[in-house]
Chain A
Amino acid sequence: MIPFDFEYDRPGTVGEALTVFRQLDAEQKNPMFFGGGTEIISMARMGNVKTGAVVDLKAIPECRVFEYDKDRLLIGSALTLSDLVEAKRFPLLDHTAGRVADHTMQCKITFGGNLASTIIYRETVLPLLLADAVVTVATQGGLRDYKITQIFRERLQLPRGEFIVRASIEKRWLSAPYIHVKKTKNEKVDYPLLTVACLKADDKIRMAFSGLLPYPFRDLQWENLMNDKSLSFPERAEQISALAAPHLLNNLDGSAEFRKFVLNNTLIKVLQTLKGV
């Protein structure tokens, strides 16, 4: 049971959502956009989130698109992770979404909710960082497109009252060679000790991580080392692990030392699988 009351609004258009959010804000209801609600409900129950109103985005058609537009795939923010997995359109995203929480949770968690999550992992952003995704945001001035790196630095950075409508990816990334590895402490279904997602293009490996630091990221210095042909695979892995070591998360899921060990081995596996460069 959630120990407090809030109002529930389910707008049918982007405009209605923006307007109702602004009104609720003016009424000091501290409204929240609501995707799958898994995080809002679980945190509200524990008293970690307090809101006077939720604005459910799932009935807005623009947030539910999953279609091609010329050379891009459009992915609506209100699609569930199982919508992504079942459709099998962007294999790296399918694999990433298919390892977030468990299958039944994937039927409820939305793509937009995972990107905007306050929980540190936000694993579905990894393919977007690699494929130079463009994110369409609903703003008071209309829909605006941003490069993913403009609005996602460690976490989603949107002004209050704006929300993600969809992301889009150039078609060429959909068939690029990829690998996704998620390592957990013990059970298969768990938060990541480390998740790495990689795409290979123009003979170069791109890679992004979750679980290593308190936010997901892509690091170009690490990528340069990963693609340095003058080094052997173990040398590349070792140099990246050494760079990472001082910053690695050290918590109940795994010590920093253990994460470094897992990172090193995982990078070698990635290089072998993608046949180096």
Chain B
Amino acid sequence: MFRIKEKSILHLNVNGEDREVVARPSDILLDTLRNQLALTGAKPGCENGDCGACTVIVDGWPIKSCLMLTAEAVGKKITTVEGLKNAPVQKAFIEKFAFQCGYCTSGFLMACHALAQKHPNPPDYVIDEWLQSNICRCTSYEEIGEAIRVVLSQKQ
């Protein structure tokens, strides 16, 4: 049985590297990534699962890191926007101007990257469902939709 009783050293696999963090069992992954590992790409927005600004990829799935305990992430592979490193989706966001202020961008990038990995050839309704998990206050939805479609069309 895996048990953490109090603040302790935990081992996380982030962006392909094994990292050590000191965390309380009740710490959320978003705070640990930002405050302990200086991975500030995942953004705090609502911290309630509504906005998607904090999205990271865990074992291939997009996850809102504000609703995941750091302890839960032990033994899993975490990818943050810092781990994308010139992924096609990043290029497409630049080409299509799919951001304005940029606050939501890392969350959208992670959702789009996970979609392209999991469903290289999704029907339109699947693209819409995945993108509805994130909110862009600057309303770049049109351009974000174009960017993910560019990436998906390249995959076919």
Contact = CB atoms under 8 A, between A and B. Distances in A.
B11 interface: no
A37 B68 CA distance: 7
B26 A10 contact: no
Interface of A: 1-2, 4-12, 16, 20, 36-38, 41-42, 44-45, 54, 56, 58-59, 80, 82, 98, 101-105, 107-108, 188-189
B130 interface: yes
B68 A107 contact: no
A107 B129 CA distance: 12
Contacts, number: 96
B88 interface: no
A20 B1 contact: yes
A101 B64 CA distance: 12
B26 A9 contact: no
B31 A7 contact: no
A45 B63 CA distance: 18
A9 B126 CA distance: 35
Contact of A105 (B31, B71, B133): B133
Most buried by B among A7, A11, A36, A107: A107
Contact of A5 (B24, B48, B111): B24
Interface stretch (B2-10, B14-22, B95-103, B146-154): B2-10
Given A7-B5, A16-B1, A45-B48, A2 B26 contact: yes
Contacts of A58: 72
Contact of A8 (B49, B63, B69, B132): B69
B29 to A, nearest CB: 10
Given A37-B68, A56-B72, A189-B133, 20 more contacts: A6-B25, A6-B26, A7-B4, A8-B25, A10-B3, A10-B71, A11-B1, A37-B69, A41-B28, A41-B67, A54-B25, A59-B2, A98-B129, A101-B49, A102-B52, A103-B111, A103-B132, A104-B55, A104-B111, A108-B67
B35 to A, nearest CB: 10
Contacts of A2: 26-28
A11 B3 CA distance: 8
A108 B28 contact: no
Contact of A37 (B48, B61, B72): B72
B143 interface: no
Contacts of B111: 103-104
B51 to A, nearest CB: 10
Contact of A10 (B1, B130, B132): B1
Nearest to A101: B49
B62 A8 contact: no
A125 to B, nearest CB: 21
Contacts of B27: 1-2
Interface string B58-83: 00011110111101100000000000
24 contacts: A2-B27, A4-B26, A5-B6, A5-B26, A6-B25, A7-B3, A7-B25, A8-B69, A8-B72, A9-B1, A9-B2, A12-B1, A36-B67, A41-B28, A41-B67, A54-B25, A98-B129, A101-B49, A103-B62, A104-B111, A107-B63, A108-B63, A108-B67, A188-B132
A5 to B, nearest CB: 5
B6 A45 contact: no
A112 to B, nearest CB: 15
A76 B115 CA distance: 25
A9 B24 contact: no
Nearest 5 Cβ contacts at the A-B interface: A104-B133, A8-B25, A102-B133, A10-B2, A107-B61
Nearest to A107: B61
Contacts of A10: 1-3, 71
Nearest to A86: B118
